[in-house]
A and B are shown apart, each in its own frame.
Chain A
Amino acid sequence: MYISQQLSDSEIITGCINGDRKFQKALYEKFSSKMFAVCLRYAGEYSKAEDLMQDGFIKVYRNIEKFRGDGSFEGWIRRIVVNSCVEHFRKKTTLYAIQETDVKSYEYYDHNALESLKQEDIMKMVSELSNGYRTVFNLYVVEGYTHKEIGEMLNISEGTSKSQLSRARFLLQQKIANTSQPALSATV
């Protein structure tokens, strides 16, 4: 049994503030799986996900004394890791607005096709998106940020955020449709 399973969040936080390596490792063991999934969604590839994971956890350890206890500890760690991923992406990519008329959409009605896919398959589809589509999709759909908040984070307009999300949805649905055999109809 991992030592992290025996310790509470408050004990881990206190130990990390003191710089105790045992508690730092316990924190890593407790939250690494979920945070690595976050990093995989933003990175697009495995090696980059490792780098994002390292940077994210280092920031967690360096700023752990700033945790005030309002909200869950896991949510606080997730925000730090997500911000670290977004900051990495923002340095590399410039997002441009997409005309709404150019966005196509699928209307799928077979939920089984999506649910039959493994998590790795879906993760792979998301990683194949371009940086802009992938980041906006993750922030809106998975993290729950609004378009206004996404615009402030990425320094883009709300309209650009919406168009990026629409394009991401279309491409993912197209990929899912290509991997299954449901009766799909496409509208242009």
Chain B
Amino acid sequence: MENEFDKIMRERLSEASSPPSDLWDKIEGKLDAFENPIEAEKSGEISPIWKYAAAAVVSGIAVALGFMFVNDGNNQDVLIGGKTQLPVNQQEIQIGEQLIPSVQLVSVIDAKQSLPLEVKTSKKAAKSVTNQSIVDEQLVATNDIETGNEEVNNIPVFSLKLNNHKTSQGMNDKIRVLSGEPKRVEVDADLNQKQILIQQRLRLINERKEISNKSRDVNQ
């Protein structure tokens, strides 16, 4: 049997209550939002969500390409791959009585020829080799070469990074490098005119000394 309190409460609470006057407008707006996507698909229009997604994808691709371009831009590495060790000779160059300490000489062409055929070299590397004009007798100072050991697909790759150091033309033009174990390298005296003059003067001084010594002996 129903509680009398509940009965009265139900009767009073079941009475109608007027909604706000603008409530239908809000419901109609939601109906339009619900129905319009269907009409948009029928008319061939593209939903704005897909437009934003496409823009995001294009932006991501552009950023990725930008990173790739920047990282590849200023690379002057000369990639030389292979298991063969680069022929680096420790040598000393003597100019007159002066010795140039520990110059590492690297023959790029020799290194390149010793590589296995499957090794790839970058286009920049090939270009830098040819533009060096050369050649296997060109010397590069120790501090100009940085050698690194990088493995690409488990194949050791030696990379040479050539800095922009220019060796003096006069010094290197007539230097002949003798291959083999570290040893002294004799250089032609006429290479350096200053050194030549110094040697001549020293010779004259020595001759005068000999002459003066001889005359002293004779007088005695």
Which A residues are within 8 Å of any B CB, using their own CB?
A: 19, 21, 24-25, 28-29, 32-34, 36-37, 40-41, 50, 53-54, 57-58, 61-62, 108, 111, 114-115, 117, 119, 122-123, 126, 138, 140-142, 169, 172-173
Instruction: Name the B residues within 8 Å of A126 (CB-CB).
Output: 13
The reply to whether B14 and A50 contact each other, CB–CB distance below 8 Å, is no
Q: State whether the Cβ of B117 lies closer than 8 Å to any Cβ in chain A.
A: no
Interface size on B, residues (CB 8 A): 25
The reply to whether A33 and B23 contact each other, CB–CB distance below 8 Å, is no
Distance in angstroms from B37 CB to nearest chain A CB is 13
Report Cα–Cα, A147/B34, bound state, in Å: 36
Report the stretch among B1-9, B75-83, B88-96 that lies at the interface: B1-9
**Given A37-B15, A123-B13, A123-B17; A61-B23 close (CB under 8 Å):** no
Q: State whether the Cβ of B44 lies closer than 8 Å to any Cβ in chain A.
A: no
Instruction: Name the A residues within 8 Å of B16 (CB-CB).
Output: 33-34, 36-37
The reply to whether B31 and A40 contact each other, CB–CB distance below 8 Å, is no
Report Cα–Cα, A37/B10, bound state, in Å: 12
Which B residues are within 8 Å of any A CB, using their own CB?
A: 3-6, 8-10, 12-20, 23-24, 26-28, 30-31, 34-35
Report Cα–Cα, A141/B10, bound state, in Å: 6
Name the prevailing secondary structure of the B interface residues.
Answer: helix
The reply to whether B12 and A61 contact each other, CB–CB distance below 8 Å, is no
Name the prevailing secondary structure of the A interface residues.
Answer: helix
Distance in angstroms from B174 CB to nearest chain A CB is 91
Query: Which of A19, A41, A57, A62 is close to B27, meaning CB atoms less than 8 Å apart?
Result: A57
Closest residue of A by beta carbon distance from B4: A111
The reply to whether B35 and A54 contact each other, CB–CB distance below 8 Å, is no
Closest residue of A by beta carbon distance from B19: A36
Instruction: Name the A residues within 8 Å of B30 (CB-CB).
Output: 54, 58
The reply to whether B34 and A53 contact each other, CB–CB distance below 8 Å, is no
**Given A122-B12, A141-B9; A58-B19 close (CB under 8 Å):** no
Instruction: Name the B residues within 8 Å of A138 (CB-CB).
Output: 13
New contact pairs (14) apart from A53-B27, A115-B8, A117-B12, CB-CB < 8 Å:
A21-B28, A32-B23, A32-B24, A33-B16, A33-B19, A36-B18, A36-B19, A36-B23, A53-B19, A58-B34, A119-B15, A122-B13, A142-B10, A169-B5
**Given A33-B16, A50-B20; A24-B31 close (CB under 8 Å):** yes
Distance in angstroms from A156 CB to nearest chain B CB is 20
Distance in angstroms from A6 CB to nearest chain B CB is 18
